[in-house]
Amino acid sequence: MESSNLLRVAAFMRDRESAASLSAVSGAMSRARFEIYSGSLAQALQASAAQQSPDAVLLEIDPQEAENTRDSVSVLGEAFPGTPVIATAAGAELEYTRLLMRLGVLDLIPQPIEHHELLSVLDDVRRRAKRLTAPHRPPSRVVAFLKAGGGCGATTLASQTAVTLATRRTQKEPEVCLLDLDMQFGAAALSIDLDDRVCLNDLLEARERIDGALMRSVMGHHESGLDVLAAPRALMPLDTLTKEFVGDCLALARAEYQTVVLDLPLAWTAWTFAALKQSDLIVLVAQLSVSSLRCVRRQLQGLQEHGLGGIPLRLVLNRNDRSWGAASRRREAEQALGRRFDFTVVNDERTVREALNRGVPVAKVARWSRVNKDLRRLADGMALALAGGSEVLAVPPKASGRVAMSEAR
């Protein structure tokens, strides 16, 4: 791409009419120059050979002709290796969008092409190019959310803090992503009102040719700038995922994003172990109940026994009750665990339920609430730990500590 930031786009439209509509929309763009061709792709490619190679290719396709689309995308891949391909079509169904994604197409712009949609896709191309050429990109970081028992609030805390981290970015780059690897019961995308029809399953089906562009294309985009990979809707066995596949996904996510947040299932498997091993920070979410505290101990022990005890860990007490009695129960729990809770998030059913029902961040429901303050503190703590700030390593629980509380629920 030229230093002036002018984006060159070669557009291959099916006929003169659609070429004219594109010309009407793209003509006013000051930061992009379009070479628009119409008619047969073979002839258009010949004509385009005389031009400087483009930064992106736009291809008009017919959703009724899947085979033709496959051929055209592969011909373009050969003609412009490494150049992002954007598709445009009228009335493409979801199935068709999936096909495009598998073919490595960066995005689909529905027709009639709207000026703002074209702008947004081109911005994406620009960001990609910048990322690929960025000289000193700081290393990316992975935060894994683990839970001490089902329903502790791990997904809520993971999605809320991921939104906060994404919102804080100075540029609106989607540099924070949340991968919902709780593949059987994951609901991270829905918790912030993102479509989960394209999901982890699509990445799995395309595992042979998974790359950064493909990974981005299966993400839901939240307005905060957060990208979310949804868990599959259908129930699938946990061992559908392998440690090799999860390793590849994490490597790609690290290459594409600055911060990668993982929502992991409760069960330990070879691939969850592999994911934890690659993590720079573990956030273990618990509640103040006997069963959850037992689970904290098991998780901490498991981490130690599997050689993961050196990974910085933050223990979060969610749904914290702020009454005096609860404070003494918390201290008892901390004694039994042999470590303190690093963060607490207050129990606020009304606010959290409303945020989840509306699919919006808690900050939008009750900005000045205690729960929002606690979530912000947790996000701050995560950012600090990821930046290498004062680390509190997972302290092994005392072997003799009994997990029992006087008024345990």
Ligand X SMILES: Nc1ncnc2c1ncn2[C@@H]1O[C@H](COP(=O)(O)OP(=O)(O)OP(=O)(O)O)[C@@H](O)[C@H]1O
Q: Which helix (H) or strand (E) holds 76?
A: helix 66-79
Nearer to ligand X, 192 or 300 (CB): 192
Q: Which residue's structure tokens are 């689970």?
A: 295
* Cα separations in angstroms, 268 against 194, 234, 384: 27, 20, 27
- State the minimum distance, in angstroms, from the CB of residue 179 to Mg ion: 13
Rounded least distance, CB 276 to Mg ion, Å: 16
Between CA 195 and CA 262 the distance in angstroms is: 18
Binding mask 121-160 for ligand X (x = CB under 6 A): --------------------------x--xxxxxxx----
Residue of 140, 318, 344, 372 that binds ligand X (CB under 6 A):
318
- Distance CA(342)–CA(122), nearest Å, equals 43
Measured from the CB of residue 154, what is the shortest distance to Mg ion in angstroms? 5
Quickly count helices (H) and strands (E) in the chain: 16, 13
Radius of gyration of the chain from Cα atoms?
24
x/- contact string, 179-218, with ligand X (CB under 6 A)? ---x--x---------------------------------
Piece in contact with Mg ion (CB under 5 A), picked from 50-58, 148-156, 231-239, 284-292: 148-156
Query: Which of 352, 382, 386, 403 touches ligand X (CB under 6 A)?
Result: 352
Near Mg ion by CB under 5 A: residue from 72, 155, 161, 292 = 155
- Could you count the other beta carbons within 10 Å of the beta carbon of residue 388? 10
Residue number with CB closer to ligand X (144 or 356) = 356
Two structure tokens written together for 102: 């598998």
* Tokens, residue 235: 């129930």
Q: Coil, strand or helix: which one is 355?
A: helix
Decide if 80 contacts 57 (C-beta within 8 A): yes
| Residue 292 interacts with Mg ion (CB under 5 A): yes or no | no
Site residues (CB under 5 A) for Mg ion?
Answer: 155
Site residues (CB under 6 A) for ligand X?
Answer: 147, 150-156, 182, 185, 318-319, 345, 347-349, 352-353, 356, 371
